[in-house]
Amino acid sequence: MTHQVVIALGSNLGDSAAILVEAIAEIAQSVTALRASSFYQTHPVGGPSQPDYLNAVIVGETELAPEELLAAMQVIENRHGRVRTERWGARTLDIDLIDYASAHWESAALTLPHPRAHERAFVLLPWSEVDPDAILIGHGAVNSLISTMDISGVVRR
């Protein structure tokens, strides 16, 4: 049985565009019927001073359980040099599971939907590009959430 998933990607170290393209290709080994957004340049949220991010969202189908998909995404992050030393610090690749079958999930490793997705234009704008009718469970229509945000610092590339 397959489940629809929403995955957000970001990078602000190295050749971010190339890293995102490679990561999306690697994710496609676990996620089928993949639809990828354009890239969006965004300012960092929280953390130390750092370069802007390049972000994207993909929507697709997977047979993996939520924590299996999370583990697969962490392998991809590590392969691209992800180092987890500073919360909200700069990174070569960040991959977040945003939504899994519009279900709630709570474990030590994973909370779904992503607990801050509803606050993040760098997730919602690319998501609405690939799925204009998207609903973020517990928060409503993605396009309605976007309409309440300041998106002036988000640039589609």
Give domain limits for the chain: 3-156
Per-residue pLDDT averaged across 72-96, rounded?
84
| Band of pLDDT at residue 47, cut at 50, 70 and 90 | low
- Does the annotation count 150 as an active-site position? no
| Band of pLDDT at residue 12, cut at 50, 70 and 90 | very high
Catalytic residue among 91, 99, 120, 131: 91
- Does the annotation count 96 as an active-site position? yes
- Does the annotation count 157 as an active-site position? no
Angle at 24 between CA 58 and CA 102, to 5 degrees: 30
Catalytic residue among 15, 84, 96, 133: 96
User: pTM for the whole thing?
Assistant: 0.93
Q: Is the dihedral of CA 76, 47, 45, 87 positive or negative?
A: positive
What tokens were used for 103? 């279900």
Catalytic residue among 52, 79, 82, 131: 82
Quote the CA–CA distance of 35 and 95 in Å, as a whole number. 16
What tokens were used for 107? 């474990």
- Does the annotation count 79 as an active-site position? no
Q: Domain 3-156 maps to which CATH number in 3.40.190.10, 3.30.70.560, 3.30.1310.10, 3.30.460.10?
A: 3.30.70.560
